[in-house]
Chain A
Amino acid sequence: MIPPAIVDLLQTGVSVNVGTRDKNFMPECTRGWGIWVAANRTTVTLLLTEPASARTLANLRDNGLMAITCSRPTDHVTCQLKGSVTQIRQATPQDYERQQQWRHAFLGELIAVGVPAEQTDALIMQPAVAIEMQVTGVFAQTPGPGAGEQV
């Protein structure tokens, strides 16, 4: 289960970074546009866009293994979630509603660290593909000596 502190962190407009690998173990990184934790606290949903994440989506369809690092831009509090994908589907209106909440908080964080609002507005977050992942590991990732420890 994802600890409550991490659930809280994920509700504060964190940046979402996704790592996958192909069948030859070649890694691939991309950005996600929104993340939220299911009520059971064992799965998360995140949104990706097809053009920016084509290889990531191909990797997920191939082997389903995923690492997600989320960081709050204003204080670098960071965690990494690892797990296996259980579902890949087109985003629904409900997903977009959740994305909107996350987007509002995330853009607020970016503006707070000095990114011009017109640039944050230009980030393309839709149309999106929704990924559901069963979380098997949660790691502290805030920069410093404790980074990498399992939570």
Chain B
Amino acid sequence: MGTAALALKDLWPCFEGIIPATIATCAKDGTPNISYVSQVHYVDPEHVAISFQFFNKTRKNIAEHPFASVMVLDPRAMQAYRLSLTYERSESSGPLFQAMSLQLQAIASHAGMSDVFRLRAADIYAVRHIERVDGFTSWPVPAQDERPPSLFIDPNLHALRVVAEQLNRAECLGELLETALRCLDEFFGLHHTMLLLVDEKRRTLQTIASHGYDENGVGSEVGFGEGLIGMVAAAKLPLRLSGLDHTLRYARAVRDRAQALSGPEALCREIPLPGLSNASTQIAVPLIIRHRCLGVLVAESLEPLTLLIREEAVMAIVAGHLAAGIEQSAQEADDSVAVEAPAAAAPPVHSPLSHRSFCFYQADDCIFVDGEYLIKNVPGRILWRILKQHQDEHRVEFTNRELRMDSWLGLPELKDNFETRLILLRKRLEQKCPDVRLVPRGRGRFALETSVKIILSEKPA
């Protein structure tokens, strides 16, 4: 028998359901049984799945004696293969079951039999042995494809598909950004990433999300053309730097710039950019949509030769998804839609403090909390408006719409990036005073939740 080192994946054309397979089983009294199965599904290199639709003799036999012999045919040459199987388990939920069930429903629907055909379970079998049936056909055995067969796609491509699906499921911009950075870590091993968005008016990039750093650095800024990140934003081209002197590795230009501006007063209003002080490789790719750069996605690694062209390609694809998502959220109607609060929302924080003192500096729209820099510019004004209305009118719930229409906030009429400013504000609050929170109440609405007394003061210009 032609059994020399056959792997299950070599049989990929047999699993396309073109020629029905047969399954032989044996009852506990020794009576053999043979029946058709519509499709044998590839699960992994050691397992196949067979659909369980009806309580039949095969099913009964397998319950009594969990062994089966299955014959599958390669439709390219009518070449037969015999699989020796041992039943392991049945799945009646999960991705494999769903995929098999949908396929069956589609076939049943075609045949007008939707009520009759229903997948009860995906029965998983371990493959003990694979054998090419010799003397079956005089047709030559098809050569193994040089290309990876369509059934067994490149793992990176599969991962990209999963990531794309997860990104498209994100309900709001904040979730989209978090999902992107988490997925880059989970699926592609990019443990340290950050995302900066362009503020076109101020010609800066601001950190809106980060992953894998001790300090999230949200709110930190880099100027256009400054350092790796600023250069990527200005050039609208990806850049990969390896083995550089560490002073060049990431945009510490931020700090230098801050010091150059006006000494310690300015410095204390700068948030340090997140970053690995000893990173050896860095990649930055721009978020481009219709030739505009919306931001920069950055990854860093301590290990040399870990961020290469593959990682750059993955990041470029994810950056494209992010650009589309960010653009869409900027254009989305303001209609507030009540949806369930995201599961990720943290429980209310019980602060050991009794109060928080917020001070608003009118000169530069900057807010300090308990003497520490919190936020400035438009997000600073947004927070001040919310805090004032909370204090003066005891308001708790706010809508994006009302704030967008508030001329004091100084938002541009078009593409105001309100959502990104709110994310920034939310994250700065999480970091600096977690007992004052802006909690989403559905799309376009949020609430101010606090467990402390809020004290407000202003410093005139």
Contacts and interface: CB of A to CB of B under 8 A. Distances in A.
Interface of A: 17-21, 25-31, 49-52, 54, 63, 65-69, 71, 76, 78, 80, 82, 115, 118-120, 122-124, 139, 141, 143-145, 147-148
B179 interface: no
A76 to B, nearest CB: 8
A27 B71 CA distance: 12
Interface of B: 1, 20, 22-26, 28, 30-36, 38, 54, 56-57, 65, 67-71, 75, 77-78, 80, 82, 84, 113, 116, 133-139
Contacts, number: 123
A41 B35 CA distance: 22
Contact of A19 (B20, B25, B77): B25
Contact of A67 (B31, B75, B80, B113): B31
Contacts of B31: 65, 67, 82
Nearest to B23: A29
7 contacts: A19-B22, A25-B65, A26-B69, A63-B30, A80-B34, A122-B78, A145-B116
Contact of B22 (A21, A26, A66, A69): A69
Given A21-B24, A123-B137, 4 more contacts: A19-B34, A69-B34, A69-B35, A71-B36
A51 B135 contact: yes
Nearest to B134: A51
Contacts of B70: 29
B137 A119 contact: yes
B34 A21 contact: no
Contacts of B20: 71
Contacts of B56: 147-148
Given A52-B136, A145-B116, A29 B82 contact: yes
B32 A119 contact: no
Contacts of A30: 71, 82, 133
Contacts of A49: 135
B30 A21 contact: yes
A67 B136 contact: no
Contact of B69 (A28, A52, A63, A124): A28
Nearest to B84: A26
Contacts of B78: 115, 119-120, 122-123
B36 A27 contact: no
Contact of A52 (B28, B35, B134, B138): B134
A49 B33 CA distance: 20
Given A19-B25, A30-B71, A65-B30, A122 B116 contact: no
B169 to A, nearest CB: 36
A115 B73 CA distance: 12
Contacts of A17: 22, 34, 36, 71
A65 B138 CA distance: 30
Contacts of B68: 27
A82 to B, nearest CB: 7
A25 B69 CA distance: 11
A51 B113 CA distance: 40
A123 B22 CA distance: 18
Q: Which of A68, A78, A80, A148 lies at the interface centre, i.e. has the most chain B CB atoms within 10 A of its CB?
A: A148
A139 B32 CA distance: 13
A139 B35 CA distance: 11
Contact of A145 (B33, B54, B84, B133): B54
Contacts of A118: 139
B30 A29 contact: no
Contacts of A51: 134-135
Contact of A31 (B23, B54, B67, B136): B136
B80 A52 contact: yes
